[in-house]
Every structure is written in structure tokens, then in C-alpha cells.
Amino acid sequence: MEDVAQQAVPASVLLVDDEPNVLSALSRMLRHEGYVLHTAGDGHAALAILEREPIDLVLSDAMMPGMDGVELLSRVQQQWPECLRLLLTGQCDLAATDRAINEGRIYGYLSKPWDDEGLRLTLRQALQYQHTEREQKRLEALTQDQNRELAELNASLEQRVEARTQELKQTADMLEVAFRELRKSYVTATKVFSSLINQRLPPRFQTNAKVGVLVQAFAKELGLDEAQQHDLQLAAALYNLGKLAWNDRLLATPAERLSVQQRESYRLYPATGENLLMALEHMEGAAKIIRHHRERWNGSGFPDRLKGEAIPLGSRLLGLAVDFIELQRGMILPRQVMRPQALELLQKFAGRVYDPSLCQAFVTLCRDKAPDLESQGRPVLALETRKLEPGMVLAEDIHSTSGMLLHEGKRLDTHLIDKLIRLEDAENTRYTLLVYREEEADE
């Protein structure tokens, strides 16, 4: 689809902030994007511009004196519902964001200080989404017009009816393409939003991408339909949404080390994530999966203590993938668990925490195919230490019981391989390492 910023009629964007330096910075950053830019220093000035100018998108600061950003965007939604609305906030305020989603029906929100490229990409995707919806409405109106014309034709005019039927078929095909583009724009916007969530998390805890790869592969392995796979893809990208309000200490504390007070906050995050997404109609399926991905097979999970098959299938699947990755990242136990041991732990708790049949299928998938999956398609090998060769490059971090040994991307030499073998003997254990295959390592 043609980039919105390059269309014949440029998009009109209104920037609203009570700080002149912020407006100047936003204007400088966007002036080469091909938009018609308008600026306002408060909500009333913004409404005056909207009264006299056709505006496609409003980007408003959340915290402004007088009329704040949530109230402004709510009024924009009521008076100009086709105008897209984005919230720019300088603090992690879930209450304001929740209000903006429910009252202003915002497309999304961005945090200050913003990432220039991320903000540009969000605006492009938002305007592309708007363009797709307008095109879909145009095509629907065209279909209605053609249906009226068809009703007026005489039934005996077989050739004309056939011609019109062909036109309708072409229109239906165009509508299908438009719908697919709209669905694709939802996924793209969700990935952008997921990247913004990751900015709040420590690098080691940015798990969404790997969880998404595993979930997608497992869903295909189980033969889930396209709608289920779509909801799972969105849920994997956003399951950490409810953690945005956590402080840095809570984010960095493994689940098994949480205090009583911290555990209360921890148990709220799936429901919080669902609440933030429920206002968006196309996210209802993903929101339900997120709410229940911490339920347990024996009914001891949260937030609703669902048991057995009462837990949605997507939630059971997402929970397995999340725990498998988070065990390896040190987010559950106070140490990072090696991949083989993580699979053993999943099997150990099958029937209590996990659906036993689903868990076995997941473990089998991970053992047979996950090396390629976890590296997002890059060719890798799983080798015992004594089968390693100099020149191989690690495809994942190596951890011992005492902590980090080597980082992903480290090229092995004879000295390092000998050191690993001696460490195995000293700890009376055996490591299985993921390394890039020779053709990948040479790149």
C-alpha cells in the first residue's frame, strides 16, 4: 500500500502541547514527513483549529493546564470521530491512559522522551490505518450503489446482470484485500506498541519477540485456525502490558523472590493488561488470552482460579511459552535456567501448572525444532560441549550455577572449549550449547 505521507493529498496533523519547546521539537522532526502541520498551545486553541481546518490526526500532550489531553481527545472523538487521536505522556500513568482509551478512543499513546523514529513510524502506521478504513468505507458505499443499480435491472436482461455480477465480484475481492490490509495494519501497530512496552523493561526481560515466535510455531503445529493464530500473535506481543506501572525494583525481581506486597502487584498484571485492551474491539480475543495466561491446570492460578479446560486454549499455550522463556531469563527463579532444564521443569509441573497433553506437545516441539525457532529462523545446532569446534559462534548465553559464563555471539576457541569441559567435570554436569551453523557463523 502506498505510504500515507506520499499520497497526492498530504495528511494534516495537529500537534498540541503547552510547552513551546516541545512543539518546536515535534515540528522539526516531522517537517520532512510530507504532512501539513498545525500547532496549538492548549486544548481550546486546538479545538478552534479543528473547527476551521480538516485535521486527520491529533497528537496531544496528556498533562496540560485547563483542558488536559484526555478531555481534549474525548471531545475530538465526539465531534470529529474520524480524526485519529494519539496521547503523548511524560509519565507512566495507567489511569490517564485508561481514560484516554475509554473516553477518547485513542489509537495509541507515546511516552516522553520519545524515540524520533518510533514516533514517526507510529504516525505513519496510524495514518495508514485511517487511509485503509476510509478506503473500505468508500468500497462499501460503492457496493451499496451497485446493489441498488442491480435491483433496478430487468431480470430478463441476462447479459447485463452477468456483467454487473462480475463487477460485484471484483468489488468483493477489493473489499477482501482492504480487510486484509486493515488486519495487517492492526498487527503492525501492535508490534510498534510492543516495542514501546519493551523500552520500559530491562533488556534481558524483553521476552515478547521470542515468546511470539514459539507461540506462532506451536499454534501452527496444533492446527489452530487463522483467527486463533491472529489473537495469539497479538497476545504474545502485549502480554507484558500490565507491567507498565511496576517500579524498577519489581521489574527486576524474580517471581519466586517477591515479597507479599510485591506478589499482590504481580498477580494484578494479567487483568490490568486485559482492561487496557478491552475497549479495542479487534483486541477482545487477545485480551482474554492475556487475562488467563497465569491460570493453572489445578485451579491455583490467577486472576480467576480457572481449572483444567475452563482455561482458554490460547492462554494455556501462551503460559507455556512465557514460562519457558522467562525461566531461561531468570524472571521466575533467582537464577537463569539452562534450556534443557527449563523443559524438564515444564514436564515436572505438567498436570499441576500446565495442561499435561499440551505440555508434552510443547516440549516435543521445543526439543525437535526450537533451536531454529528461538533464533527466529537462523540456522543453529544444539551440541554437547565435547562436540564443539573452534570457530563456532554461540547462539545463546551460557550460564553455570554460579552465573554468566559466555554471551551470545562469542566465537569459541580451543581455550574456551577446554575451560567449559573442565567446568563440567568440576560441577559434575553437562551443558548443551546452541551454536550457529558454519555458514551462519562465517557471515
Cell of 267: 498477580
In this predicted model, which residue has the larger pLDDT, 267 or 424?
267
Average pLDDT, the chain: 82
Query: What per-residue confidence (pLDDT) applies to 3?
Result: 43
Query: What per-residue confidence (pLDDT) applies to 110?
Result: 81
> Looking at this protein, which amino acid is placed at residue 258?
L
Cα separation, 307 vs 323, whole angstroms: 18
340-351 residue pLDDT tens = 889 999 999 999
Residue 337: pLDDT above 80?
A: yes
Beta bridge mates, 350: 354
Residue 392: pLDDT above 80?
A: yes
Pick from 95-99, 142-146, 178-182 the range whose average pLDDT is largest. Answer: 142-146
Residue 92: pLDDT above 60?
A: no
Residue 376: pLDDT above 60?
A: no
What order do you get walking across the sheet with 84-89 strand by strand? 36-40, 12-16, 57-61, 84-89, 108-111
Query: What per-residue confidence (pLDDT) applies to 443?
Result: 47
N- to C-terminal Cα distance for the chain?
33
Query: What per-residue confidence (pLDDT) applies to 55?
Result: 94
For 346-383, b/e burial (b = at least 16 CB within 10 A) is beeebeebbbeebbebbbebbeeebbbbbbeeeebbbe
Query: What per-residue confidence (pLDDT) applies to 197?
Result: 64
Query: What per-residue confidence (pLDDT) applies to 43?
Result: 92
Q: Look at the block and give the residue holding cell 509519565.
A: 91
pLDDT band at 161 (very low <50, low <70, confident <90, very high): low
Cell of 203: 533488556
